[in-house]
Structure 1
Amino acid sequence: MTEVLFYHLTESRLEDALPSLLEKSVERGWRVVLQTASEERLQLLDQHLWTFRDDSFLAHGTDQVAMPEHQPILITATGENPNLATVRFIVDGATPPDLSEYERVVFMFDGYDADQLEGARGHWKRLKSEGHQLTYWQQSPEGRWVKKA
């Protein structure tokens, strides 16, 4: 079964929390596909990952570039997996594809967005009933991730 992690953003924006989790994934040698809810959001995250820190960037591409299969992190607004990733990040309330081809799936959701919160609850219930291994992480007031379930 796929390991599924839920990250509940309460103290920071997705743009602030996402890069460090993606960096850790790449450091572990994992290929990642990052699924957004829209093409507009895809473009914003694409730009952000190149500029989120002055001293470095996060190598990545989108499914709109040539040879997406070579990207260590690929951003898409679809359920496709063109870079054959084993880890999938689902953000902005995007609708997840079949998760069976992934070792790990990470749902990141804004705790102040009612639609994202309700969507995450629905995914949790469904995936738990399917027998997936689920963990739930919430930000502390300092912005650190604390395992709650």
Structure 2
Amino acid sequence: MAAIGFYHLTRTGVAEAIAPLLGRTLGSGARAVVRGADPASIATLDDALWRAASPDWLPHGTAAMGFGADQPIWLTDGDDVPNGARFLFLVGGADETIVSGFNRFDRVFDLFDGNDQAAVIGARARWAAAKVAGHGLTYWQQTERGWVQKS
């Protein structure tokens, strides 16, 4: 079963919040796939990651760039994982089949916008489904000083 962390964004957007999380992932020697809801959100995130201030470089790729197996971070709006990533980041309402899809990952990061009521409702539904499926769950809330684990 995957360990699933729900990350409730209250102070920043996804691009600013995900950059340090991806930096820690790479620092641990792991690879990641970031799944967005649509091609436009992936293009926006791609641009933001190239401009991220901290960490100062996040090597990543998309289907448009190719060389998926070589990319430490893969951005997609599909279910492709060409880099063998064991960490999955869900952003912008992207969803994964809770029961079977998460099992191929060690960790799942579900980032959602706490200022968007639809995003909060969607995250609650994903939490409930993941709990029923038996995944280990944690809930993190963004504060002025960083992330605080609430459960």
**TM-score normalised to structure 1 length:** 0.94
59-68 or 117-126: bigger deviation: 59-68
Matched to 1:136, the amino acid is Y
Q: Is the 8 A contact 1:12 1:143 kept in 2?
A: no
Q: Matched residues in 2 for 1:92 and 1:104: separation?
A: 18
SS at match of 2:102: coil
- Residue in structure 2 matched with residue 115 of structure 1 by the alignment: 118
Q: Is the 8 A contact 2:32 2:72 kept in 1?
A: yes
SS at match of 1:58: coil
Q: Matched residues in 2 for 1:145 and 1:47: separation?
A: 24
- Residue in structure 2 matched with residue 89 of structure 1 by the alignment: 89
Which of 104, 109, 115 matches 1:101? 104
Q: Is the 8 A contact 2:7 2:140 kept in 1?
A: yes
Q: Is the 8 A contact 2:14 2:111 kept in 1?
A: yes
**Is the alpha carbon distance of 1:109 and 1:54 closer, same or farther for their aligned partners in structure 2, counting shifts above 3 Å?**
closer
Shift of 1:66: 2.1
Matched to 2:146, the amino acid is R
Q: Matched residues in 1 for 2:19 and 2:51: separation?
A: 11
SS at match of 1:56: coil
Q: Is the 8 A contact 2:6 2:111 kept in 1?
A: yes
**Share of identical aligned residues, percent?**
37
Q: Matched residues in 2 for 1:143 and 1:43: separation?
A: 29
> Is 1:132 the counterpart of 2:135 in the alignment?
yes
Shift of 1:143: 4.6
Shift of 1:53: 1.8
Q: CA RMSD in A?
A: 1.4
Q: Matched residues in 2 for 1:30 and 1:2: separation?
A: 15
- Residue in structure 1 matched with residue 44 of structure 2 by the alignment: 44
62-71 or 112-121: bigger deviation: 62-71
1:24-53: CA deviation from partner (whole Å, max 9, x where unpaired): 000001110000111011111111111122
- Residue in structure 1 matched with residue 30 of structure 2 by the alignment: 30
Q: Which runs of 5+ in 1 are unaligned?
A: none
